[in-house]
A and B are shown apart, each in its own frame.
Chain A
Amino acid sequence: MTPAIFETMRTSAAANPLVPATADLIWSAVVFTILLVFFWFKVLPNFKKNIDARTEAIEGRLALAEKAQAEAAAKTANIEAEQAEARAEAAQIRESARAEGAAILAELKEQASIEAARMTETAKKQIEAERQSAIISLRAEVGSLAIDLASAVVQNNLKEDKSASAIVDGFLADLEENSK
């Protein structure tokens, strides 16, 4: 169709809205092309890049958080293991200390008993020695006493029997008095 026909159509009262005018088509095409190119090469690439970057960032952050969580869990497990270990160690130390204490106690007891035995032994020996010395001194004294008694008996025996027994009695009384 020629522009002339459009011209008559536009001016006629019964213009046909279904027939496009040249200018109408041209400007429509211009508008469409501008916007298609604009959306295709500017808006949508930027939009898509932004959305993709955001998705990536969110996923990255989620992964990071997961990693951190796993690390924290591992750390907690580590700490717990360490604690258990320390607890076991402490128990062991306590146990060994107790055993050591018992050993020390036993040793001390043994030493004490040995000491006691030794002391008893010493005491016994001392007592024995003293007894011996007592016996010896007693023996010597008894000897001289016997001699004293004998000499006294011999002196008086010649006079009377009566006085002899009085001498013995007096001697014994002296002895008793001396020992007191």
Chain B
Amino acid sequence: MVQTLSLLNTVLNPVAEAGGGFEAPTIEEFYPEVVLFGGTPFELNRIMLIRLLVTGLLVLIFTLWSNRFRKSTVEGQFVPGRFQMFGEMALNFVRKSIAHEQLGEKDGDRFLPLLTTIFFIVLGMNITGIIPGLNIAGTSVIGLPLILALAAYVTFIYAGIRKHGLAFFKTALFPAGVPPAFYILVTPIEFLSTFILRPVTLALRLMMNMIAGHLLLVLCFSATQYFFFNSEGIFKTFGVGTFTFGFVFTLFEMLVAFLQAYVFTLLTTVYIQLSLADEH
């Protein structure tokens, strides 16, 4: 992706030199300058600020919902209003469609805090990628996807050990029904796929989707900007095409934001479910 972009940059640059210059987005997009606490481990850049903003907004809206739920419980007023209904829909999406579906009601509710947190963090952080003024996803830097994947990793191992004790590792690494000789081959593969690839793919799938989406949008809109204001004659009309592309991809990013949140949560749930299952 990065190479393609730099290639595009060199292709366009000769044209650009005549006008104002076209700058294709690079990976530096994801390392904006530090704005606060520079030099300390707590330095804040734009993306970190976006994360804090999203956290604040999530806390705000879910506090409102939570208060509404409590009020409804206390007052015995069980016909939900439109606002409360929407909150229930959001929370029930994770609870019913993901957790209960995969884990059943009891285990689903047991792991619900983690699953709900993962879903709404990922969704909230992803969606900033297309919000004007923010324009970059909070999940497009490795830290957050990594922390979430780590939480998922710790949780599914915890779930396995809690249920099966150390036998969890035995069933995970030495699947039943395989001739013992094949364990030479199977065990390393199982180890790699279960204990290394699962968290890595969780984190990378999310981050790469967000990076790619952001670069694509930046490319489309900076090209539009370039074509409209810095190019001559026929090239100006190219801007219409790139703008349309950018618009369509913005809609697409909306879908991706939701889809990645869903996929991340669903996979975490499935990993927990596999750990809890009696037989692999």
Binding site for B on A (CB under 8 A): 3, 10, 13-15, 17-29, 31-32, 34-36, 38-40, 42-44, 46-51, 53-54, 57-58
Contact = CB atoms under 8 A, between A and B. Distances in A.
Contacts of B141: 17, 20-21, 24
22 contacts: A14-B27, A15-B31, A17-B141, A23-B41, A23-B45, A24-B144, A27-B42, A28-B143, A28-B144, A28-B147, A32-B121, A34-B55, A35-B121, A43-B62, A44-B112, A44-B116, A46-B69, A47-B91, A50-B72, A50-B73, A54-B78, A57-B76
A124 to B, nearest CB: 100
B66 to A, nearest CB: 4
Contact of B65 (A18, A19, A43, A57): A43
Contact of B147 (A25, A43, A51): A25
Given A21-B143, A43-B66, 20 more contacts: A3-B41, A14-B27, A17-B27, A17-B142, A23-B41, A24-B142, A27-B143, A32-B147, A32-B148, A34-B55, A35-B59, A38-B58, A38-B59, A39-B116, A46-B66, A47-B65, A47-B88, A49-B69, A51-B88, A54-B78
Contacts of A54: 72, 78
Contacts, number: 132
A53 B78 CA distance: 8
A28 B58 contact: no
Contacts of A40: 113, 117
Nearest to A19: B142
B62 A39 contact: yes
Given A23-B44, A25-B146, A34-B59, A15 B78 contact: no
Nearest to B113: A40
Interface residues of B, number: 52
A127 B69 CA distance: 115
A30 B40 CA distance: 16
A58 B31 CA distance: 54
A7 B59 CA distance: 32
Interface of B: 26-28, 30-31, 37, 40-45, 48, 51-52, 54-55, 58-59, 62-63, 65-67, 69-70, 72-73, 76, 78, 87-88, 91, 109, 112-114, 116-117, 120-121, 141-144, 146-148, 151, 204, 207, 211
A100 B125 CA distance: 99
Contact of A48 (B37, B43, B109, B117): B109
B4 to A, nearest CB: 15
Contacts of B62: 38-39, 42-43
B248 to A, nearest CB: 25
A17 B113 CA distance: 29
B60 to A, nearest CB: 11
B76 to A, nearest CB: 7
Contacts of A31: 51-52, 54-55, 121, 144
B143 A25 contact: yes
A28 B146 contact: yes
B63 A42 contact: yes
